Structure 1
Amino acid sequence: MKVLVISASPRADGNSHLLAEAALDGARAAGHDVAHVFLDDYVERLFGNCRTCRLADGRCSLDDRYEDLLLNRMLPADGIIFAMPLYFYGMPGRLKTVFDRLFCYISNSAPQQARVMDGITGKKVGVLISSEENYVGATAGVVAQFQEATRYLHQELVGVVVGNGNVRGEIARDPSDPVGRARELGARLFDIRVTDYRLDTVRPNAVWECPAVN
């Protein structure tokens, strides 16, 4: 399987980068084809007004590498892991822009609509968050945002790892072992079962398949 890890921080020696590297190690050890990108290499422009900035043929006119990221990196991946520092209790601006600018490619007037809508769905998604604060509410907002975004895109959010640290690299000292949990998430990305029941969901009595009892 193809795993793409997207780092939302430009720091190659920061705490979220340690989590990203651990997830890459885990996915690689599990035999997956892995790739790692930094958003600042691809995303420079904010979402604009499609009514005024689309090209005559309907394509997006924003002149950075977002389209390369989306079409050639994100769409071919079977699973995507987002690694991010917590910025003001939310996701970094470049990462929010990744989701905002999807509109340019999935609206009815987008020439790549069918390709993008077919390729963006069905993915396994993991999230790695480094945060200076450790109370649960600090990351609740951004986790909820990922839950809704992945649900809208018909993806599965299979795991969120939160680690605490401020000084570069100190997330490795977090006693909850976020680095180890990030590595495990990378390794088990396609094995984690996600359930989202409704009133009429047909489901077995047991959560996990049990061996037959003689």
Structure 2
Amino acid sequence: MKTLVVSASPRDDGNSHVLARSAIDGARSAGHDVQHVFLDDYVDRMLGNCRRCRRVEDGSCSLDDRYEELLIDHILPADGIIFAMPLYFYGMPARLKTVFDRLFCYTANSSPMQDQVVSEIMDKRVGVLISCEESYVGATQGVIAQFQELTRYLRQDLVGVVVGNANSRGEIAQDPSDPLSCARDLGARLFDIRVTDYRL
């Protein structure tokens, strides 16, 4: 199975990256084919007004960064995706939100890639790793709810969320709840965890 781990932090040695590395270790131990990407390398531009800025002759998105490469070469081929992120003002980092926002450009009726993207974005297993400075449980509830709704809308399964408490770099390893082991387990069991969400 193909697992994509997406690091949403601009810090490549921060606590969410430590969580990502643990998930990667777990996924590899289970024999999964793992790719790891940093959003900083792909996403520079925010969603604009597609009706105004889409001026490429074939109707494709005209924003000039590597988002389309991220989507077509990494996200769509993956069977499962693990998003690793720090909590920013009780939500996801802007680059990660932009990943979801810009799906509009590829799923809209006017997109020449609509059929491919819509069919291939579905039926994925998703995990979320969050590093959070606060131990207050409510701090992450909003972003977890957002992922629940995003995955449901995209017809994906949110199979697990790991939250670790840390501030200084590397501090997450001292969290007594042992989020690194939880992240490793999520990576290993991403395709085995039972998910139930009954729909008629």
TM bucket (normalised to shorter chain) is over 0.9
| Distance in 2, Cα, partners of 1:131 & 1:71 | 30
| Distance in 2, Cα, partners of 1:93 & 1:40 | 11
1:58 paired to 2:64:
no
Larger Rg: 1
The aligned amino acid for 2:41 is D
| Distance in 2, Cα, partners of 1:84 & 1:62 | 24
Match of 2:7 in 1: 7
Match of 1:181 in 2: 182
Query: Given the two structures, how large is their TM-score scaled by the length of structure 1?
Result: 0.92
Match of 2:117 in 1: 116
Q: Cα RMSD (Å) of the superposition?
A: 0.8
Q: After the TM superposition, which parts of structure 1 deviate over 6 Å for at least 4 consecutive aligned residues?
A: none
The aligned amino acid for 2:13 is D
Count of matched residue pairs:
199
Query: Given the two structures, how large is their TM-score scaled by the length of structure 2?
Result: 0.98
Gapped runs of 5+ residues in structure 1? 202-214
The aligned amino acid for 2:181 is G
Give CA-to-partner distance per residue, 1:126-180, whole Å, 9 cap, x none.
0000000011110000000000000000000000000000000000000000000
The aligned amino acid for 1:59 is S
Match of 2:73 in 1: 72
Give CA-to-partner distance per residue, 1:45-84, whole Å, 9 cap, x none.
0001011111231100000000000000000000000000
1:1-214 matches, cutoff 5 A: 1-54=1-54, 55-197=56-198
User: How far is the alpha carbon of 1:10 from its aligned partner?
Assistant: 1.7
SS in 1 for 2:119: helix
Gapped runs of 5+ residues in structure 2? none
| Distance in 2, Cα, partners of 1:197 & 1:75 | 25
Match of 1:204 in 2: none
Give CA-to-partner distance per residue, 1:79-136, whole Å, 9 cap, x none.
0000000000000000000000000000000000011011100000000000000111
SS in 1 for 2:167: coil
| Distance in 2, Cα, partners of 1:128 & 1:196 | 21
| Distance in 2, Cα, partners of 1:141 & 1:58 | 35
SS in 2 for 1:137: helix
The aligned amino acid for 1:36 is H
SS in 2 for 1:195: coil
The aligned amino acid for 2:151 is T
| Distance in 1, Cα, partners of 2:58 & 2:35 | 32
Q: Percent identity?
A: 75
| Distance in 2, Cα, partners of 1:157 & 1:73 | 19
User: How far is the alpha carbon of 1:36 from its aligned partner?
Assistant: 0.3
